[in-house]
Structure 1
Amino acid sequence: MTASSVGSLVPLRAEGDLTPLHCVHPVSGSPYCYSAMAHQLSTGNPVFGFESPGFDGMSEPAASITELAELHTAALRAARPHGPYQLLGWSLGGVVAYEMARLLAAEGEEVPLLVIVDAALPGTQAVPPDDQMARFFLYDFLGVTPDRAPGIDKALAGLAPGAQPADIFAAVERDGVVPEEFDAEFLAERFALFSAHVRALGRHHLDAVHPGPAILIKAAESVERLLDWSPYVGRLTVHTAPGDHHSVWQGPGLDAISGIVDRALREANQA
């Protein structure tokens, strides 16, 4: 099975008869991080998510951000042949959603809403070596930042620098850092997809400007210089939500994001 043959759309909130909101998965490949937001929205817009190739554990991950954008755009147009289209993406998903918006606009389609949530610009961060990548994967998998992961740090304290990802995953499984249903083999499978996405993002370059409107939602604790999308969007509106890159999807951060998206959908519905 190739990436291009994989159906990627999943319903997050199927009810509603207005223009759907389509949400692009982050680096994990799963769109279910958007479920809580989807159910907080008060508008009549259905919400769908894109699941990445490779998340099923059988298909191959996409080789590039461009391939992901083309794959998801094809799935979107198969389900909804013509616009308007409304897109949202967090982290890597924000970059993919941006490229999808450019593809759709180039095809003459209307993209009245593009929401980029705390997505660092490609090329602003180096691709780490495998042992650091495995740590970053664990932080992402558990939804924490490096300074808030004492369990991970304690479990890996005895490993030598440059430890293999398999040894890292065995250590966190042994110390009970991850729920028991997620053993080292499962973590290794998810890591393969995570690392493929990180490497794809590291190779990607933004080389044009999206002419349509876009909303950038920054996490208050994120590094601002990594999030300057203004050179690449014709009409950019910027908001800040409380929290860090992961906690922004919880509590006050989630409420803030849901409120911003809710207002944007209402405005689009009235246009």
Structure 2
Amino acid sequence: MGPRTAASRPQDRRRHRPPRPPPGGQVACYAQLAAGYPGPEALVGIRDPRVDDPEPEYLSTEQLAEHYLQALAPALESGERIVLGGFSGGGVIAYEIAQRITAQGGTPPLVVMVDAGAPDGELTDAEADGSFANQLRAVAEGRTAPGPASTADTPTPADPDAPAPDGATAEPDGSAAYLAEISQIAEWMRGDGGGDPVALMRDSVEAIQRYRPHAYPGPVVVLRAGDTGFGKGTDYDESDRFHGRPGLGWEDHVEDLAIRVVPGNHVTMLTGDNVRSLARILASAVKN
């Protein structure tokens, strides 16, 4: 599949920020972010090449990065400034693309991690009872009714450049809110080409978790969720796995690291008032 444009802003074509899709391959999760983005840059989303495949081929993070790098070749060859970024596992793929650009003699681009944790070598059992993949499939297939979506937004930090908090922000989520958030993810992943988005998400998560980041000489900005309780208290509870560290683990691999806190949790940061705050913070990060 070729690249799918999530949004573009024609005022300034000198700078692009292509978001990498999260596990699941679709770019729908960026729709509200692109719509509310106040900067002059063009935001371009590129789908996973396997989104319409009912039995997706397993591709490593390195293989996916090479695919996306080929899609970016025209912009890179023209000398345009590229800012790479992605949500969740998409940020990890963006990191590997940046490594490849640098290895080929290019200037290390800015990488924006939207609540994307650095892989730590631990693999999730996607087939286990209560696993996130199995819960997601149950919701996607209508076997579990989503609860009512929460309308409460985490307060926006007064200063978008504020450092990460010393501890996790308390944000208890009930089971109904958690199911509503899984339902939102299922909606983001829904395609129209006959593919199996849950299978693709499962394989992509495994590829991300198997990836081993190397030191990166360029700048990285981590936009981490202020509400760290996504999945807390459920069978899928990894709320402390990455958010227990200010830089989500990237401080082990990057010296030029900036950390900014955005409102919402891992899902709600991309919806409602939260995503409008995220758009403003992102524009400030790209500008600076």
**TM bucket, shorter chain:** 0.7 to 0.9
User: Paired residue for 1:84?
Assistant: 81
Question: Does the 8 A contact of 2:14 with 2:81 survive in 1?
Answer: no
User: Paired residue for 1:242?
Assistant: 263
Offset of residue 90 of structure 1: 0.8
Question: Does the 8 A contact of 2:221 with 2:258 survive in 1?
Answer: yes
Question: Does the 8 A contact of 1:102 with 1:210 survive in 2?
Answer: yes
User: Paired residue for 1:260?
Assistant: 281
Q: 1:197 aligns with which of 192, 196, 204?
A: 204
Query: SS of the residue aligned with 2:2?
Result: coil
Stretch moving more, 18-27 or 102-111: 102-111
Distance across 1 between alignment mates of 2:44 and 2:177: 34
After superposition, the Cα gap between the structure-2 partners of 1:20 and 1:35, relative to the gap in structure 1 and judged at 3 Å, is: same
One-letter identity of the residue aligned with 1:135:
N
Distance across 2 between alignment mates of 1:97 and 1:78: 17
Distance across 1 between alignment mates of 2:274 and 2:284: 16
Offset of residue 200 of structure 1: 1.0
One-letter identity of the residue aligned with 1:253:
N
After superposition, the Cα gap between the structure-2 partners of 1:245 and 1:77, relative to the gap in structure 1 and judged at 3 Å, is: same
Distance across 1 between alignment mates of 2:207 and 2:126: 14
After superposition, the Cα gap between the structure-2 partners of 1:32 and 1:151, relative to the gap in structure 1 and judged at 3 Å, is: closer
1:24 aligns with 2:20: yes
After superposition, the Cα gap between the structure-2 partners of 1:51 and 1:59, relative to the gap in structure 1 and judged at 3 Å, is: farther
Root-mean-square deviation (CA), in Å? 3.2
Distance across 1 between alignment mates of 2:91 and 2:262: 16
TM-score, length-scaled by structure 2:
0.70
Distance across 2 between alignment mates of 1:146 and 1:124: 28
One-letter identity of the residue aligned with 1:84:
R
**Bigger relative contact order, structure 1 or 2, given CA contacts below 8 A and separation 6+?**
2
Offset of residue 210 of structure 1: 1.0
Question: Does the 8 A contact of 1:217 with 1:241 survive in 2?
Answer: yes
Offset of residue 32 of structure 1: 2.0
User: Paired residue for 2:71?
Assistant: 75
Offset of residue 70 of structure 1: 1.1
- Point out where structure 2 has 5 or more consecutive residues left out of the alignment: 141-145, 151-170, 229-239
Figure out how many residues of one structure are paired with residues of the other and give that number: 233
After superposition, the Cα gap between the structure-2 partners of 1:61 and 1:106, relative to the gap in structure 1 and judged at 3 Å, is: same
One-letter identity of the residue aligned with 2:98:
A
1:36 aligns with 2:62: no
Offset of residue 247 of structure 1: 0.7
One-letter identity of the residue aligned with 2:134:
R
After superposition, the Cα gap between the structure-2 partners of 1:45 and 1:62, relative to the gap in structure 1 and judged at 3 Å, is: farther
Please give the per-residue CA displacement for 1:73-105, whole angstroms capped at 9, x wherever unaligned: 111114542442111111000100111111111
Question: Does the 8 A contact of 2:263 with 2:269 survive in 1?
Answer: yes
User: Paired residue for 1:150?
Assistant: 176
Query: SS of the residue aligned with 2:70?
Result: helix
After superposition, the Cα gap between the structure-2 partners of 1:63 and 1:248, relative to the gap in structure 1 and judged at 3 Å, is: same
Distance across 1 between alignment mates of 2:15 and 2:117: 28
After superposition, the Cα gap between the structure-2 partners of 1:11 and 1:115, relative to the gap in structure 1 and judged at 3 Å, is: same
After superposition, the Cα gap between the structure-2 partners of 1:110 and 1:118, relative to the gap in structure 1 and judged at 3 Å, is: same
- Point out where structure 1 has 5 or more consecutive residues left out of the alignment: 1-5, 154-171, 173-177
Question: Does the 8 A contact of 1:218 with 1:239 survive in 2?
Answer: yes
Offset of residue 69 of structure 1: 0.9
Please give the per-residue CA displacement for 1:167-210, whole angstroms capped at 9, x wherever unaligned: xxxxx9xxxxx88xx7xxx7x8111111111111222212x211
Between structure 1 and structure 2, the one with the greater Rg is 1
Identical pairs, percent: 25
User: Paired residue for 2:7?
Assistant: 12
User: Paired residue for 1:164?
Assistant: none
User: Paired residue for 2:237?
Assistant: none
